[in-house]
Structure 1
Amino acid sequence: MQTEARQADALYVLGDLFDFWIGDDDDSHFAQSIKSEFKALTSSGVPCFFTKGNRDFLIGERFCEQTGITLLPDESVIEIYGNRILVLHGDTLCTEDVRYLKFRATVHKPWLQWLFNRIPLCIKKKIISKVQADIHTEKSTKPLEIMDVTQSEVERVMQYYDVKLMIHGHTHRPNIHKFATQNHSHTRVVLGDWYTQGSVLVYDNNGFELQNRPF
């Protein structure tokens, strides 16, 4: 964000930037430093777009005001150098993970988020710690294929939006998948996580490249 992104036409973040965003009232040094970097980037003239992930779905209007970012809907068709591209976090593509999708539907209820955002920060931290522990335990017993995207859902969504390229995160399995449907070629790009390396998709007039950046 301090170097390459300053030269970009735009920056897109497709969710799960945080292990968990507890809310826009997070006053920790870490949260403030991230906000500061976003604000510096957008103030330099580079537009920044953010798609909420399953770990930072509580990002709200205050975060946008403090950083200058623009929140995108769960599924957005954008145009880059004349190409229509579907960007999304990717969790909604994992249709075999029924328990997670039920959990997602619950925590995305506006009234529940409204209530949670009015709980004191110290209590929210305890609630989040418990939820994260439960999720970690459940993931350890879940088959890996259940937590991956469902190919038929990928094809359905791409056909619905009439796009040939999809970019998402969530599964943290960086790769470029090519497949064909009804004699049309399609590409699905998966971004990786940021635990031991950076995962960046660089897109310019010559095409795109999925890059891993060692820390």
Structure 2
Amino acid sequence: MSTLLISDLHLHPGAPAITEGFLAWLEERAVHAEALYILGDFFEAWIGDDLLDLGAADPTGTAALAARIAEALKRRSQAGTAIYLMHGNRDFLLGERFAEAAGATLLADPSVVTLGDERVLLMHGDSLCTLDEAYMAFRTQARDPQWQAQILAMPIPDRLALARQLRDQSGEANSNKAEDIMDVTPEEVVEALREHGVATMIHGHTHRPAVHDLDLDGTPARRYVLGDWQPERGWEIEIVAGQPPVLRDFPLKG
């Protein structure tokens, strides 16, 4: 048995190939896993769990998509795979209702978990991008419970409009930022590993899949970065006890 980790699927109705690919992967690959960790940005946008009430009346189609995804995850959970969901910067309003529908457990960002025979620091990864001061200010606001309560109190059409606005603003802002600003700050990586007393970190967010060897106060350490899913391929990390994590990409099957 193994543990699988994925991140940054950005599921939305406009990318059906990724949805179909994920559902196929869930049945073909995750069926063999004892645990599945989804490290944020599972959905391209999430305006609140009450979106599920709209069903077919949701003009964006996200409610129907989310119900289908939740049902598939619930089947996998009931079959014996423990499923964990972490918030990302796109779906930070995912709540307990969706988690329950999916048979999943919400996981704090960051979290230290034992995978295989090693303690590993799991993160979405956006909190490491401290050079992007404008984004970090938004992140602080978006994680504030009072701000979230205000957003969730808005009528659903207003929240849908806000989600579109935030996506547009993010895309425009990112197009004008230097590449290094949108990547992790190396000093933050080392500090996070030191703070949590671990030598291995796994995260997503940056869409820059790689394995980085590090020096942590004279001790070897390693940072694994998951890739974002595209219509033609996905990314996963597999962990088996007694072996180092393996980062791999694979073709998606519809």
Q: Shorter-normalised TM-score: what interval?
A: over 0.9
**Which residue does the alignment assign to 2:238?**
202
* SS in structure 2 of the partner of residue 207 of structure 1: coil
**Which residue does the alignment assign to 2:72?**
37
TM-score by length of 1: 0.96
Partner letter of residue 165 of structure 1? T
Deviation at 1:8, TM superposition (A): 0.7
TM-score by length of 2: 0.82
Q: Higher mean Cα deviation, 13-22 or 168-177?
A: 13-22
**Which residue does the alignment assign to 1:173?**
208
Deviation at 1:40, TM superposition (A): 1.1
Deviation at 1:138, TM superposition (A): 0.5
**Which residue does the alignment assign to 1:63?**
98
State how far apart, in whole Å, the 2-side matches of 1:104 and 1:59 are: 15
RMSD (CA atoms): 1.1
Is the 2:49–2:95 contact (alpha carbons within 8 Å) kept by the matching residues of 1?
A: yes
Q: 2:129 aligns with which of 94, 108, 115?
A: 94
Q: Deviations over 1:113-168 (max 9, x none)?
A: 11211222222111111111111110100101000001011001101111110000
**Which residue does the alignment assign to 2:149?**
114
The gaps in structure 2 that reach 5 residues or longer are 1-25, 53-62
Q: 1:127 aligns with which of 141, 144, 162?
A: 162
Q: 2:35 aligns with which of 1, 10, 14?
A: 10
Is the 2:130–2:136 contact (alpha carbons within 8 Å) kept by the matching residues of 1?
A: yes
**Which residue does the alignment assign to 2:111?**
76
Q: Which runs of 4+ in 1 moved over 6 A?
A: none
State how far apart, in whole Å, the 2-side matches of 1:4 and 1:214 are: 12
Q: 2:182 aligns with which of 141, 147, 159?
A: 147
Q: Higher mean Cα deviation, 1-10 or 54-63?
A: 1-10
State how far apart, in whole Å, the 2-side matches of 1:56 and 1:191 are: 17
**Which residue does the alignment assign to 2:226?**
191
State how far apart, in whole Å, the 1-side matches of 2:133 and 2:153 are: 29
State how far apart, in whole Å, the 2-side matches of 1:90 and 1:207 are: 20
State how far apart, in whole Å, the 1-side matches of 2:143 and 2:154 are: 17
Report the identity percentage: 37
Q: Deviations over 1:90-123 (max 9, x none)?
A: 1110110111010011111111211211222222
Q: Deviations over 1:69-97 (max 9, x none)?
A: 11111111100122010001011101101
Higher relative contact order (CA 8 A, sep 6+): 2
Is the 2:39–2:85 contact (alpha carbons within 8 Å) kept by the matching residues of 1?
A: yes
**Which residue does the alignment assign to 2:45?**
20
Partner letter of residue 234 of structure 2? G
Alignment coverage as a number of residue pairs? 215
* SS in structure 2 of the partner of residue 127 of structure 1: helix
